[in-house]
Amino acid sequence: MELSTLDYSFIVVFFSIVLFIGVYVSKKSGASSSEYFLSGRTMPWWLLGLSMVATTFSTDTPNLVTDIVRTNGVSGNWVWWAFLLTGLLTVFVYAKLWRKSNVSTDLEFYEMRYGGKPASFLRKFRAVYLGVIFNVITMSAVTLAAIKIGGIMLGLEPWVTVVSAGLITVTFSALGGFKGVVYTDFLLFFVAMGGAIGAAYYLVNIPEVGGITALMANENVADKLAIVPDFSNTKALITLFIIPLAVQWWSSWYPGAEPGGGGYIAQRMLAAKNENHAIGATFFFNIMHYALRPWPWILVALASLVVYPDIASIHEAFPNVAVDKLGHDLAYSAMLTKLPSGLLGLVLASLIAAYMSTISTQLNWGSSYIVYDFYKQQINPNASEKRLVAVGRISTVILMVFSAALALLLQNALQLFEVLLVFGAGTGLIFILRWFWWRINAWSEITAMFASGIISIILKLTAVGPFLFAAETGVFPDWAEYPFVVLVTTVIWLAATFMTQPESKEVLQDFYKKIQPGGPGWSKVIKEAKDENVEIVNTKEKWSVPAGITAMLLGCVLIYSCMFATGYWIYGKTTNALILTAVAIVSGFLLARAWNKMKDHIL
């Protein structure tokens, strides 16, 4: 496949603008570590919300969605759609708590909530564990997708894709810092969204597919359209729907959907002007992420089943692709080769935008952990602001190199999705409860982290690990395995919690006074402070969690009904679409009222 002059023009202009933004903001971003990693905490909700959406576009996400749709149908996406629940819990309960903490990274929270050597160890260890290991794994999945796109669409060798795409990304990320990332995300959002929609519209209407009506009727597609799994298929229902909604959303740590907030989502909340801007940004992100954005990818995935019904047909069409890179996720890139000149350049630019947005965010977020939570804590506590920025830029480059090297060894996106889910199984409940239950201590988190990892490795080695997706068959694992890991990990960390000493009275009182989490889980601490005539409760601030949970449930109804309605409008099922649209309008009205009441609880 050859690109036209027009296609190259789109790509060159796009690269030029991105690099210009990085260079333009580099001086101000390098003024201090707060500017470099949080842009001085002055960001508005709409810019942060667009940045969150752009960051999670990613090049591996359409590949993953395509893989899921081709193997398990549209309903297979509940494996990640279920994370909307934790997303909205973050919006209406945890966003304001994170912003009030005023920490520089979410790991700094550990030495605010806990005390002593265990808290210090936890902060430093997770700086490396998340900032380096998990971050490199996540970025390697994104880079792997870029390798496949480069191989299918441009015939590039993997190392060529890695070097060319990574070099520009790491340059503007290292120069511009967080401000550069967010400003470029504004551009990347519109480019990526326009490219995804344009590609879906064109590819559904190519002669081989024949339009939306023919697509829906095709024998390869008809049994893949259901948005909810077939209730008569017990295994699919439990594995793809019940387990994600009943267990997975609150029990797993997953980048971008951490229970209680965390990672780069927390970084953006911490960069917001105030609590309301943090809430607005995360709510906007969840609407776009779940209700609207997946459908262009789903349509291309369904169309690919008509053009490339199996892996063999993909291999036949692209014989130069290495055997170890073959998989259903290649179908997305394969379909994009059929785009015409101009639109092809736009879509390629959108894919580059998705790649750069995700990688730049991961680099800045990961290096913030290395700088604040490891380097400054462990190596050089008295480092100047200039030195911290320099370390941030160096660590940005190193993280890019590690992730690129790992990407060259991987085969498909589901491998990484499996690893991330498995190692976070059973830890999510701690991230939810640690704000509202005084008894959780640093040992709770340390035990859960190691227990989850060790149990997962044991199950993996015995070939019965949770979420061991079979790339060859597309079959999900037995439904009982994932809850088993969650149950055992939870029992272990609860036992460790009660077998170890609670955090000191001073640590707990200081935390409550600063955050004002409220609720019955802190009644013991409040009573002790009152008995000692220590004032830790702000009587002007009401407990907002009940109102927040109500808003969360209404938000779930709103976004899920929007998601379903969008799908049914596309499918041409007008009656279902109208009913769900009405549900979305009513739930939106009720949510607006609930939000107005919630604002009375926020100072």
Would the pTM count as exceeding 0.75? yes
Question: Does residue 250 lie in a domain region?
Answer: no
Buried b (16+ CB within 10 A) or exposed e, 67-103: bbbbbbbbbbbbbbbbbbbbbbbbbbbbbbbbbbbeb
Residue 578 makes CB contacts below 8 A (sequence gap 6+) with none
For residue 137, which amino acid is it?
Answer: I
Q: Residue 308: is it exposed, middle or buried by C-beta count within 10 angstroms (0-12/13-18/19+)?
A: buried
Tell me the mean pLDDT in the region 542-553: 88
pLDDT band at 253 (very low <50, low <70, confident <90, very high): low
Please check the confidence at residue 509 and state whether its pLDDT lies above 90. Answer: yes
Please check the confidence at residue 546 and state whether its pLDDT lies above 50. Answer: yes
Higher pLDDT, 30 or 149: 149
Q: pLDDT digit string (tens) for 123-165?
A: 988 888 888 887 888 888 788 878 877 777 777 787 888 887 7
Higher pLDDT, 226 or 32: 226
Buried b (16+ CB within 10 A) or exposed e, 202-230: bbbebeebeebeebeebebbeebbebebe
- How far is residue 320 CA from its own chain's centroid? 32
Question: Considering 375, 410, 445, which residue would you say is the last residue of a domain?
Answer: 410
Please check the confidence at residue 478 and state whether its pLDDT lies above 70. Answer: no
Domain CATH for 191: 1.20.1730.10
Query: Where do the H-state alpha helices sit in 129-204?
Result: 135-154, 158-204
| Element housing 336 (H / E) | helix 330-336
Tokens of 452: 């989850």
**pLDDT in the model for residue 477:** 41
Q: pLDDT digit string (tens) for 174-192?
A: 777 777 778 888 887 888 8
pLDDT band at 289 (very low <50, low <70, confident <90, very high): confident
pLDDT band at 575 (very low <50, low <70, confident <90, very high): very high
3-state secondary structure 504-541: CHHHHHHHHHHHCCCCHHHHHHHHHHHHCCCCCCCCCC
Residue with tokens 């019904």: 309
Taking each continuous run of H as one helix and of E as one strand, the counts in the chain are 30, 0
Question: Does residue 478 lie in a domain region?
Answer: no
For residue 385, which amino acid is it?
Answer: E
Residue with tokens 């089943």: 305
- How far is residue 459 CA from its own chain's centroid? 25
Please check the confidence at residue 468 and state whether its pLDDT lies above 50. Answer: no
Helix (H/G/I), strand (E/B), else coil: 567: helix
In whole angstroms, give the CA distance from residue 65 to residue 333. 12
Question: Does residue 124 lie in a domain region?
Answer: yes
**pLDDT in the model for residue 498:** 95
**pLDDT in the model for residue 202:** 94
Please check the confidence at residue 210 and state whether its pLDDT lies above 70. Answer: yes
The answer to whether 186 and 281 have CB atoms below 8 angstroms apart is no
Higher pLDDT, 234 or 440: 440
Tell me the mean pLDDT in the region 93-118: 88
Residue 316 makes CB contacts below 8 A (sequence gap 6+) with none
* Sign for the pseudo-dihedral over CA of 515, 520, 523, 524: negative
Q: Please indicate, yes or no, whether residues 400 and 549 belong to a single structural domain of this protein.
A: no
In whole angstroms, give the CA distance from residue 211 to residue 218. 11
Question: Considering 410, 437, 452, which residue would you say is the last residue of a domain?
Answer: 410
Residue 12 makes CB contacts below 8 A (sequence gap 6+) with none
- Which range, 273-282, 497-506, 541-550, is most confident? 497-506
Helix (H/G/I), strand (E/B), else coil: 272: strand
pLDDT band at 413 (very low <50, low <70, confident <90, very high): low
State the distance between the two ends of the chain, measured CA to CA, in whole angstroms.
58
The answer to whether 308 and 314 have CB atoms below 8 angstroms apart is yes
Q: What backbone phi and psi angles, to 5 degrees, belong to 566?
A: -60, -45
Question: Does residue 593 lie in a domain region?
Answer: yes
Question: Does residue 264 lie in a domain region?
Answer: no
Tell me the mean pLDDT in the region 345-366: 81
Question: Does residue 192 lie in a domain region?
Answer: yes
In whole angstroms, give the CA distance from residue 377 to residue 560. 43
For residue 566, what are the domain limits?
540-602
**pLDDT in the model for residue 365:** 83
**pLDDT in the model for residue 348:** 83
Question: Does residue 322 lie in a domain region?
Answer: yes
In whole angstroms, give the CA distance from residue 406 to residue 428. 27
Tokens of 381: 């506590």
Higher pLDDT, 458 or 298: 298
Give the residue from 135, 29, 103 showing the smallest Cα distance to 389: 29
Q: Residue 533: is it exposed, middle or buried by C-beta count within 10 angstroms (0-12/13-18/19+)?
A: exposed
Q: pLDDT digit string (tens) for 422-457?
A: 667 778 889 899 999 999 999 999 999 888 878 877
**pLDDT in the model for residue 469:** 38
Higher pLDDT, 170 or 464: 170
The answer to whether 50 and 202 have CB atoms below 8 angstroms apart is no
Tokens of 312: 């063999």
Tokens of 178: 């967080």
Tell me the mean pLDDT in the region 16-43: 74
Q: pLDDT digit string (tens) for 53-78?
A: 877 777 677 888 999 999 889 998 98
The answer to whether 185 and 172 have CB atoms below 8 angstroms apart is no
Domain count, the chain: 2
Which of 144-153, 510-519, 542-551, 579-588 has the lowest average pLDDT?
144-153
Give the residue from 522, 440, 106 showing the smallest Cα distance to 278: 106
Q: Please indicate, yes or no, whether residues 224 and 373 belong to a single structural domain of this protein.
A: yes
Please check the confidence at residue 389 and state whether its pLDDT lies above 90. Answer: no
**pLDDT in the model for residue 180:** 78
Question: Does residue 454 lie in a domain region?
Answer: no
Question: Considering 359, 393, 410, which residue would you say is the last residue of a domain?
Answer: 410
Compute the mean pLDDT over every residue in the chain, rounded to the nearest whole number. 83
